């Protein structure tokens, strides 16, 4: 998550080893949000294939129920949330109202896990409602800016990011201006309920995605224009390296069912990477004004934005 329209200066780095291709011509469609709804930071689909679900700026997780019923409130992260929160955007009140940034279903249990920027790591059952807190800090450091998550489909372990140990989400501009590098990559074990720090010292830790074989995990370092890879198994287990340098500021990362990775970035367009970090495709279209998330599901790609009032979607092939 990052608000790119508020950044005054952006330095674009160009790397000569890039081969950016736009291999498919796609038709894009808008799915508008409802009244008083803005900022669908991330997108999810449940274990029944229903959705999309989107976390929005005022603390709600909304579910699309089709063109007749439209959007319905599925979950909230704050037990104290009231209707005075409806429509709030980029407000210090998210400490009270909540701000769900990362959302993803555990396909084994149908539970929705939520990285709420202010309220910590949470989950809610398949019927929705008020989310339950799982963790609000680790190693004596409270979470100030939880951002994104991914789930190991075999063990249920949750990998998630804390963007900064110094700044809250609404203070993102200070984190950027000060080149804050107190971000962390974390792991939650659903069996022991323990949270461990896997990496620290990250520059604006953002999107996170597990590999298909679960042998490594990727984490976006937004203000470093890069994605880092942490090896989880094998001879390099416990070590990290640069997976790719990008021309844009990377946000969320999502793996598709072929093991490839979609990366939202700004001001550059979203890109698809193979498992070795090579760019396979760039969605170079003026329809995408900005993006915070890109998810592939059932031959559609869905694009969310932290500043818009709609989702974009497009058929693959």
Specify the CATH number for the domain of residue 19.
2.120.10.30
Domain boundaries, position 30: 4-315
pLDDT at 316: 82
What is the spatial distance between Cα 300 and Cα 287, in angstroms, rounded to a whole number? 16
d(C-alpha 133, C-alpha 287), whole Å: 37
Q: Express each pLDDT in 145-159 by its tens digit.
A: 999 999 999 999 999
Q: Is the pLDDT of residue 210 over 90?
A: yes
Can you give the pLDDT at residue 297? 95
| 4: helix, strand or coil | helix
Closest listed residue to residue 160, CA positions, set 168, 149, 171: 149
317 falls in which pLDDT band (50, 70, 90)? Answer: low
Please give the average per-residue pLDDT across 132-157, as a whole number: 95
Question: Any residues with CB less than 8 A from the CB of 254 and at least 6 apart, and which?
Answer: 207, 209, 261, 262, 293, 294, 295, 296
Encoded tokens for 257:
């069912």
CB neighbours of 82 closer than 8 A, spacing ≥ 6? none
Whether residue 148 contacts residue 167, with contact meaning beta carbons closer than 8 Å, is answered with: no
Q: Are 245 and 225 in contact (CB under 8 A)?
A: yes
Give the bridge partners for 227, in sequence order.
220, 244
Per DSSP, 267 falls in state S
Instruction: Please name the residues in contact with 83: beta carbons below 8 A apart, sequence gap of 6 or more.
Output: none
The structural domain count of the chain equals 1
pLDDT of residue 9: 35
The 3-class SS string of 116-131 reads ECCCEEEEECCCCEEC
What are 97-116's pLDDT values in tens digits? 999 999 999 999 999 999 99
Instruction: Inform me whether the pLDDT recorded for 123 exceeds 80.
Output: yes
Query: How does pLDDT run across 4-30, given as a tens digit for each residue?
Result: 444 433 333 333 333 444 445 789 999
């Amino acid at each position: 998550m990052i608000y790119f329209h508020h950044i005054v200066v952006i330095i674009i780095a160009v790397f000569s080893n890039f081969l950016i291709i736009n291999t498919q011509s796609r038709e894009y469609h808008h799915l508008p949000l409802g009244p008083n709804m803005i900022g669908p930071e991330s997108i999810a689909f449940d274990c029944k294939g229903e959705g999309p679900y989107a976390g929005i700026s005022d603390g709600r997780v909304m579910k699309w129920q089709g063109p007749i019923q439209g959007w319905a409130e599925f979950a909230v992260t704050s037990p104290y949330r009231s209707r005075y929160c409806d429509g709030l955007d980029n407000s210090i009140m998210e400490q009270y109202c909540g701000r769900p940034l990362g959302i993803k279903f555990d396909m084994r249990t149908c539970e929705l896990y939520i990285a709420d920027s202010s309220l910590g790591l949470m989950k809610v059952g398949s019927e929705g409602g008020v989310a339950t807190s799982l963790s609000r800090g680790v190693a004596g450091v409270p979470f100030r800016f939880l951002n994104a998550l991914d789930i190991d489909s075999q063990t249920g372990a949750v990998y998630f990011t804390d963007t900064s140990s110094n700044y809250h989400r609404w203070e993102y501009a200070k984190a950027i201006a000060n080149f804050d590098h107190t971000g962390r990559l974390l792991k939650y074990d659903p069996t022991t309920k323990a949270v461990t720090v896997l990496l620290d010292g990250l520059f604006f830790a953002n999107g996170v995605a597990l590999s298909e074989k679960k042998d490594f995990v990727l984490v976006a370092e937004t203000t470093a224009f890069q994605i880092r890879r942490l090896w989880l198994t094998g001879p390099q287990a416990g070590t990290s390296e640069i997976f790719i340098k990008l021309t844009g500021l990377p946000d969320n990362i999502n793996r598709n069912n072929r093991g490839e990775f979609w990366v939202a970035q700004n001001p550059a367009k979203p890109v698809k990477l193979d498992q070795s970090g090579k760019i396979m495709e760039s969605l170079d279209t003026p329809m995408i004004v900005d993006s915070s998330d890109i998810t592939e599901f059932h031959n559609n790609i869905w694009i969310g934005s932290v500043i818009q009032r709609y989702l974009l979607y497009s058929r693959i092939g």
